Amino acid sequence: MVFGEFAAIGTALAWAVGFLIIKPISTKFSAISINGIVLSAAWIVLVAIVIPSGKLSGLTFFGWRSTAYIIGSAVVGVGMGAILEIKSISLADISLVYPINFSLYFLSASAMAVVLFDEPI
C-alpha cells in the first residue's frame, strides 16, 4: 500500500469514531447545531496547526477558481452532507447508516471520477 491508501484508512477510522461520539447526542440537538459546533472545533484545531507550522502564507496563492471549488466542496460535502449524515444517525442505527452511506459514496465518487476526470476504474 502507498501513503494515499493509508491516509484513506485513517480517514475512514476518524469519520467512524467522530460519528460514534456524536451518536448519543444526535437525537437531543439539531443536526445543524451539532455540525456548527463540529466545524467550529475543527477550525480552531486547523488554525492551531497551520499557524505554528508556517504554512498560512500558502493559503494566499489560491486563485478565484480554486477558491470557488473549495467553497463549493465545503457547502455540498461538509455543509449539506455532514448535516444529512448527522440527521441520519439520529433516525437510524450507525450500523445501518454507515454501510449505505459509504457504499453509495464509493459508487458515486467512482462513477463521477470516471465521467468527470477520465480516471480508470
Contact 34, 21 (CB under 8 A): no
The reported pLDDT for the residue numbered 58 is 64
The reported pLDDT for the residue numbered 72 is 92
How far apart are the C-alpha atoms of 3 and 64, rounded to whole Å?
Answer: 30
The reported pLDDT for the residue numbered 1 is 59
Report the candidate in 92, 109, 98, 75 with the shortest Cα–Cα distance to residue 18: 98
The domain locations on the chain are 3-117
The reported pLDDT for the residue numbered 28 is 95
Q: Low-confidence residues of the chain, pLDDT below 70?
A: 1, 56-60
* Percent of the chain whose predicted confidence (pLDDT) is above 90: 36
pTM of the model: 0.75
The reported pLDDT for the residue numbered 98 is 85
Contact 107, 56 (CB under 8 A): no
